[in-house]
Structure 1
Amino acid sequence: MKPCATSACSKIRTGASRMKALRNYSPLIVLTIVLLGFGVYAYRYIQATSFVIEGTRYYNLFDDAMVSMRYAWNLAHGNGLVWNVGERVEGFTNPFWVFFMAFWHLLPLNGPQISLAMQVSGGVFLALNLIILYKIVQHLTDDLLALSAALVMTAFYGPLAVWGLLGMEVSLLTLLLSLSAWMTLTLDHARHKHWLYLLLGFSTLIRIDMAVPAVLILGFLAFTDRPNWKSHLVWGMSVLLLFLGGQSLLRYWYYGEWLPNTYALKMIGLSPVIRIARGLWVLFELAWQMNWVVFLLPLAGFLLRRDKNIWLLALLFAGQAAYSTYVGGDAWEHRGGANRFISIALPLWVTLFGVTLANIRNAVETSLRLNGWKITLSHVVALVLVGFSLWNANFLLADYRSIERWLLQRKPFYIESHEKYIRTALILEKITQPGAKIAVTAAGTVPYYLPDRYFIDLLGKTDKLIARQPVKSPVSLAGIADVRPGHMKWDYAYSLGRLQPDVIVQLWEEDYKSAEPYLVEYESVTIDGLPFYLRKGSPLVLWDQVK
């Protein structure tokens, strides 16, 4: 047969070349589309979390993040790394994140603008995580289904957006965990291992519990990279211990404690059995919400493809799940979805989901010898399953309102509380003088916007005495669903009777009765629909402003 030399054949070859080029660029096209989609979603989410009060648009962070913001404000203004000036209590577990917040406070920005900068930073970190996730999937497989599933289910998983776009360090930790996983998978042992060791050590400065994935990665390398196992254990662990030991010594020097105050708050005074049972319960709830089949599908990956790369990703997710179980989970699972500890590893889990789904589809196509339109149909079915899985993962607590929040058709979680806290701070600024003592249960937003007032943290996040007390609520295995770590200790005899705040903004919802003996010294008022208790005769209350 003579070779084709006609223009028609030339066009066929050109068309084939273009199709091949398109296939080569398809992964980048998928990444670009997801990044653009995430950018639009993040922008709309941040706008949806803002609100206008007295003509000013406020951007605000999750209240725990605002606790760190008050520390950052004091640090940037020369008062030290403290919540109340002159009192050294480490009511945070994210030192580098506080330093990052302090950097923004050095710029000519006001509070809402700094919060916006933190939200945008969270969006940038989550976008960078998608790029790293793209590299991880490309290292594992060239299947577009696996890539699409991993990127889409990470970019548009609601709880991860909540933590990342409301100012929590989760955004940066997610990026660093994915980056550590990618560096481990592609490690050039001769040149790059020390950079990995430094990255693992540095991550503990953001949260000390990043030591968990760090130890798992070093152990994984020691087991799978036998020629260099001593280097991983000796040098890797030495670098990790240097970071952990260094910050512990600094903590003891500055705060007089080896561990953050929040460790005592959550780990002391609650039975380990109850704590771990509660951790198992919230893990079970997460699996149930996401659908057991979807949640456990990655386990099938071990049967279809048993290699060390798959084991690493599964190990890191299992490590975070185990850690979450050990500490009893978080305080916000009643809102649904993955908590802060599990969220940072969820992108690795959905990567396994995507790879496993692609492997199952390929196995079905091969075993049934599918071709033509049947292959196309199998691809469509797989994509529909990805879409269903994403929808199901965001259908939190089987409440359709969670879908409306995810689609930004309803105010996102926590925003109504944020607005109330800002209004509270503005009222307190008008009715109290600098130096007034103010008692709160939500220790973030209100104290941040009133840096010249002294605050009393009723739930002990920034109070050493309360943090070391036993939990107030009697807890049994039957009541583990009601356990809220970090929100189960208070002492009104100390906080109200001894410290005598000028204003009580909030009392813990679980226990008003034990506060009643101390409230006789207070006048109950409602201002602009918000309740306050004002200490009778207090010279730091501007009584003429109280309406």
Structure 2
Amino acid sequence: MELVNSVLEKIRSFFQKPLPKFLFPISCILFIYVVVLNSWVTEDAYISFRTVDNFLNGFGLRWNTYERVQAYTHPLWLFGLIFLSFLKIPVYYSSLILSWICVGATVYLLISRFAKREGGLFLGSWIFLVLLTSRAFVDFSSSGLENPLSFLLIVLFLEKAFDLKIKADFRDIFLFFFYLSLSYLNRQDTVLLGLPFLLYLYKPLKEKLSWGKFVSASVLGILAILFWSVFSLVYYGYLFPNTAYAKLNTGLTVSHLWPYGLDYLENSFRWDIFTSLTISSVILLLPYFLWKKRILEAALSAGVGLYILYICSIGGDFMAGRFFALPFVACIFLFSEYSSTYLPRVSVLFFVALFLLNQNSYLYITKDYTRLRNDGEIQDEKGAYFRSTNLIRSVQSQDFPTHGWADVGRKHRKEPREPGKACATINVGFYGYFAGEDRKIIDSNALTDPLLSKLKSVSNWRIGHFTRNIPLGYLESVTSGQNQIQDPHLKVYYDRLKLLTESEDLFTKERFMEILRENLGGNRNLIQNSDPRTPWVGIPEGFRCGLGVGY
């Protein structure tokens, strides 16, 4: 018995010791190596890249140059891309540079906060390692999507929220709402992680701050949201991005989508067990935090749970792990704040077992990596595009990315056929970017199309790809500029929609009245979404973009 107790004491003593300082530079170099070597850009990111190019070429914040449509969910990320691309950096590299800056700043904030409390920067090396163990984090530390900036903003927000228990003056309340506003502008649904913290604000109100100062600070903090909302309403005619209407205005109910959301959750447990266990443990700790009256920790736990519930309710996504990367970073913030003496060495053990000794981990990736794993509706998006869009290949290939859809776009740009004629496809990223700003492209998945995004999706939809049937006469209308839609109700609606998206004068009384009518639901009777859902009939012959059979 004494032997057993002795062994247990040695094990306990081992896990309570801080990590050796020499591990810090090693883990830092390893982190940089893995993040840079795994840098890639998904096809969907090129939808935003086209808007960046059109803006820099003087066409405004547009995807198709003939109409104003917000074909991006992330204004803040988009403006970051525009800024770097304005400096003559190709937009592909702009996205990677911005990703690296955001990821680097995120890790620095996590480690420096932990170091201030524990007494040394070198004690935070476990944070490098635990982030690398998450497949979702590594996958979406680049990709061209807004995730890296979301990582940074959520950590900035959480730092300020947790500091409210120490100090809650006017400046602190302002920054609390300001960081929450920036998160909203980067991606609107990320504010769900921060909403439970609003309940905590009763404390500074009760103890230190008057109602007048609180309201002033909070209003000043959310001015960014107000300014963008006004701009979006005036410029685009809508408060929310077109992508939100395309994915949430499908005619599908939560009962249709929940099974897919649960499949997305199950996929994460199968493909990325460490990320899933980390998020689950934080959610399950909520009763404990409430029992111990650790309100801030409980708010974070509730925020993570609320965000996961939302992701499941909308059916998850087709990109494995994409929407688990952000709550994972929030969970790492919580664990670093919790300061368990066992945490650093336990994290290293997870890293060794799931990353270092795993021959399929991203430590051993090459530029030719391709693993086209599919799990029902969910796929390894990185496996699908990494070989065509990774950083190493970008410096070795003249025509980059090396993908067939990009090649078709380049071919059209060099030898345009019927340049004024519209075409339709369901793969608009690579093709749309490389085909040039003059090409009129209709996205059958409705992400970039203001008319299709208001219609019911087809019966054989795929999660994340809510395809619409193209109304008869719509492609002819876009080609000619004259309304040739055959459905009489939809024809009236399209005329009204063109007033929002194509009129040259933004500030007419007629247009403002139409914006009001559209956003208050006055046009719903013109959109025949009550009819039975039908299968996809495909893209009409003669209007295909040529990306493959039927497209």
Match of 2:318 in 1: 331
Partner SS state of residue 537, structure 2: helix
Deviations 1:282-329, CA, capped at 9 Å, x for gaps: 234324544476553443596497634532432332232133223332
Match of 1:423 in 2: 407
Which structure has the larger Rg? 1
Match of 1:273 in 2: 255
Match of 1:446 in 2: 431
Match of 1:470 in 2: 456
1:129 has 2:115 as partner: no
User: 461, 464, 468: which one pairs with 2:447?
Assistant: 461
1:36 has 2:29 as partner: yes
Q: What amino acid maps onto 1:108 in structure 2?
A: K
1:464 positional shift = 1.5
Is the 1:287–1:295 Cα contact (8 Å) retained in structure 2?
Answer: no
Match of 1:488 in 2: 467
Match of 1:508 in 2: none
Q: Report the more deviating stretch, 71-80 or 141-150.
A: 141-150
1:236 positional shift = 5.6
Match of 2:197 in 1: 217
Distance 2:457 2:231 in 1: 29
Distance 2:322 2:64 in 1: 29
Match of 1:347 in 2: 329
Q: Taking structure 1 as reference, are residues 65 and 320 closer, same or farther at Cα in structure 2, changes over 3 Å only?
A: same
Partner SS state of residue 419, structure 1: coil
Distance 1:146 1:309 in 2: 24
Residues 377-416 of structure 1 aligned to structure 2 (within 5 Å): 383-388=348-353, 403=360, 407-409=364-366, 410-411=369-370, 412-413=382-383, 414-416=385-387
Deviations 1:86-118, CA, capped at 9 Å, x for gaps: 201111111122222222332334xxx321121
Match of 2:177 in 1: 197
Match of 2:298 in 1: 311
Q: Taking structure 1 as reference, are residues 165 and 28 closer, same or farther at Cα in structure 2, changes over 3 Å only?
A: farther
5+ unaligned residues in a row in structure 1: which ranges?
A: 1-22, 50-60, 363-378, 476-482, 502-510, 535-547
Distance 1:170 1:512 in 2: 33
**TM-score, structure 1 length as denominator?**
0.69
5+ unaligned residues in a row in structure 2: which ranges?
A: 1-16, 371-381, 389-400, 481-533
Distance 2:232 2:326 in 1: 25
Identity %, equivalent residues: 19
Is the 2:278–2:328 Cα contact (8 Å) retained in structure 1?
Answer: no
Match of 1:157 in 2: 134
The size of the alignment, in residue pairs, is 443
Distance 1:149 1:494 in 2: 60
Distance 1:168 1:284 in 2: 23
Deviations 1:354-400, CA, capped at 9 Å, x for gaps: 788946x59xxxxxxxxxxxxxxxx97774244335579xx9xxxx8
Distance 1:276 1:235 in 2: 40
Distance 2:61 2:441 in 1: 16
1:177 positional shift = 0.1
**TM-score, structure 2 length as denominator?**
0.69
1:80 positional shift = 1.0
Is the 2:246–2:446 Cα contact (8 Å) retained in structure 1?
Answer: yes
Q: Report the more deviating stretch, 492-501 or 133-142.
A: 492-501
Match of 2:223 in 1: 242
Distance 2:172 2:115 in 1: 20
Q: Taking structure 1 as reference, are residues 138 and 380 closer, same or farther at Cα in structure 2, changes over 3 Å only?
A: closer
Is the 2:103–2:148 Cα contact (8 Å) retained in structure 1?
Answer: yes
Partner SS state of residue 515, structure 1: coil
Match of 2:416 in 1: 432
Q: Taking structure 1 as reference, are residues 459 and 207 closer, same or farther at Cα in structure 2, changes over 3 Å only?
A: same
1:453 positional shift = 1.9
Distance 1:327 1:140 in 2: 39
1:252 positional shift = 1.3
